[in-house]
Amino acid sequence: MRKIFLTINFLAIAIILMACSDNATSVNAEKMTLQEFVKMPGFTWFNYEFNNYQPDDFIVKEIQKKYNSSEHSFVIFAKPSCSCPGKHIQTSEFYKTLEKAQIPFDKCELFSVTSINNEHPYKSTISLHELPTIIILKNGNPIFSVSDTLNITNSTNKNNDMKIEESLLIGLQK
């Protein structure tokens, strides 16, 4: 009886140790449509911020002039329940700017990520530094980070915050 008890305990400990070990699996970014995105728990803020944002009309007209549907597309990496003050709304502001500029949302690849270290299809050409990350692609190649430019500019120039549409326009001029 004692041998059976020791064997059961040994097996239980082995199972617990195997369950707690690092299997070296990586977390993948999840590609989704905007409709799927806004229905996910953690992205409930999106519609509120989207509806409240009003892009600058003059800049939107300039975006329309610079945007080339055969060349330009976008890739967006966003984190559910992002608690980065002011930064999480960049995704909704970006989409609102696209809507106002009459750029189809299907020109965007949207990925839900939990970390900048998640595996994603652009890992060889795009490094994530912060979330969200919004990248302009030209002929399928990354040419400009809307979010990095916006964040760097706003962190160094406290008196005159850049808006997402201004950063988008700069990227489309590349």
- Structural domains of the chain, with CATH: 26-172 (3.40.30)
Percent of the chain residues topping a pLDDT of 90: 56
Distance CA 5, CA 11 (A): 10
Sheet containing 72-78, strands listed edge to edge, beginning at the edge strand earlier in sequence:
30-32, 108-112, 72-78, 133-138, 141-145
Distance CA 42, CA 76 (A): 16
Yes or no: say if 76 and 134 are a contact pair by the CB < 8 Å rule. yes
Q: What is the pLDDT of residues 94-149, one digit of tens each?
A: 999 999 999 999 999 999 998 899 999 999 999 999 999 999 999 999 999 999 99
Q: What is the pLDDT of residues 66-96, one digit of tens each?
A: 999 999 999 999 987 655 556 778 999 999 9
Distance CA 84, CA 54 (A): 21
Strand partners, 73: 137
Q: What is the pLDDT of residues 12-48, one digit of tens each?
A: 444 444 433 333 346 789 999 988 888 887 777 788 9
Please report, to the nearest 10 degrees, the dihedral formed by the alpha carbons of residues 148, 73, 32, 127 taken in order. -40
